[in-house]
Amino acid sequence: MALYVSSACFCGFSQKRVERVRAVASEGFAALKTEEEKVKLGNSDLKVTKLGIGAWSWGDTLYWNNFEWDDRKIKGAKGAFDASIDLGINWFDTAEIYGSRLSLGAINSETLLGRFIKERKERDPEVEVVVATKFAALPWRFGRQSVITALKESLCHLGLSSVDLYQLHWPGVWGNEGYIDGLGDAVEMGLVKTVGVSNYNEKRLCEAYEKLKKRGIPLASNQVNYSLIYRLPEENGVKAACDELGVTLIAYCPLAQVSLHPSWILKLCALTGKYTPGNPPTGPRGLIYTPEFLKELQPLLNRIKEIGQNYDKSPTQVVLNWLISQGNVVPIPGAKNEQQAKEFAGALGWRLTDDEIKKLRSLASETKPVIGLPFENL
């Protein structure tokens, strides 16, 4: 659990739909409170729920929130935080670059998360919140000390004396050995409980694992883009390497909501059924998620919906449960508001059958692969 310290250095659901989500979440409440719904991150001692909450959108005005951040959206993010805690999901993933100062009107995601933790602890001093954040491997950052310097700034934003998981956000163009050394230093200095990487391919993952192992420090996780219709980690050896080494795969974009267009990062929750061949997305998103692609995806979406009806679960809950059922995978969907957080909680406390898991994989394999993010090729 990250220790909070007082600090002055803080640098469209319908009503029917909302009520159904609330009912599903309430049914799973007791299950989320048990140790059965928690797993260790890799070979570390850190235990987290089988699903975490991503805070990429919190405070951001570049990729999310239609280029603006206001009080209504702050209230939504706070609602997502509190609802998650109430339902037993107590770990959150952020990063120093989320809500970048380069974006007009943005608020740093770490600062928002720290504020939410502080306010919650004022009401409930015993609440445990697991915090994960990330180091940006920017080209002008060199050596192990750059990791420690950035970490201390993140702690300042968060108002914490330490974090539970500190990750390298992506491999650097150079200087990666120094970054790994910095992760080890952070553990030995007591600034972090455990460490991980993100967007690391198989070769880089193994190198980081071995380098930390020499210091007696486990590499806890590798956070990568992974979903039912984006299974590159299975194809490029990353998932197998994680399983073999005992490194937890943290799945970002688990609802397939991010893909890449040559000129822009695109957002689409492709697996939730939001868009159909007759209702494709507009703007640049439509260049990839065309009516033809969505028509190709329809058999999979129909099967997801059918399975969900059998369990009284939404398509979102089904696809998140599919990821959890892969083993050694912890998805971190991004929650913008209370309703989304409650829906995500409904992905826990139950499990798809082996036949359902195989059928969804088979149908997903018949669709054209989506394009991933550039970090994966570094």
The tens place of each residue's pLDDT in the chain, 378 residues long, gives: 555 443 334 343 333 344 444 344 444 444 455 567 899 999 999 999 999 999 988 876 565 545 566 788 889 999 999 999 999 999 999 999 988 665 555 688 999 999 999 999 999 999 999 999 999 999 999 999 999 999 999 999 999 999 999 999 999 888 899 999 999 999 999 999 999 999 999 999 999 999 999 999 999 999 999 999 999 999 999 999 999 999 999 999 999 864 433 332 333 455 666 666 776 566 555 656 677 777 888 899 999 999 999 999 999 999 999 999 999 999 999 999 999 999 999 999 999 999 999 999 999 998 776 666 656 666
What's the whole-model pTM score? 0.85
What is the model's pLDDT at position 332?
98
What is the model's pLDDT at position 72?
84
What is the model's pLDDT at position 13?
32
What is the model's pLDDT at position 194?
98
Nearest alpha carbon to residue 76 among 364, 351, 335, 343: 335
Q: Is 98 a catalytic residue?
A: yes
Answer whether 290's CB lies under 8 Å from 280's CB.
yes
Reported as type and span, the H/E element at residue 223 is strand 219-225
Q: Check the CA dihedral 339-343-345-346 and report its sign.
A: positive
What is the model's pLDDT at position 195?
98
Residues in contact with 274: Cβ distance below 8 Å, sequence separation at least 6, in sequence order: 268
Q: At what angle do helices 315-324 and 291-311 cross, to 10 degrees?
A: 80
Answer whether 127's CB lies under 8 Å from 88's CB.
no
What is the model's pLDDT at position 374?
57
What is the model's pLDDT at position 21?
42
Reduced 3-state DSSP string for 313-345: CCHHHHHHHHHHCCCCEEECCECCCHHHHHHHH
Catalytic hit among 4, 63, 98, 200: 98
What is the model's pLDDT at position 292?
77
What is the model's pLDDT at position 256?
81
Answer whether 99's CB lies under 8 Å from 107's CB.
yes
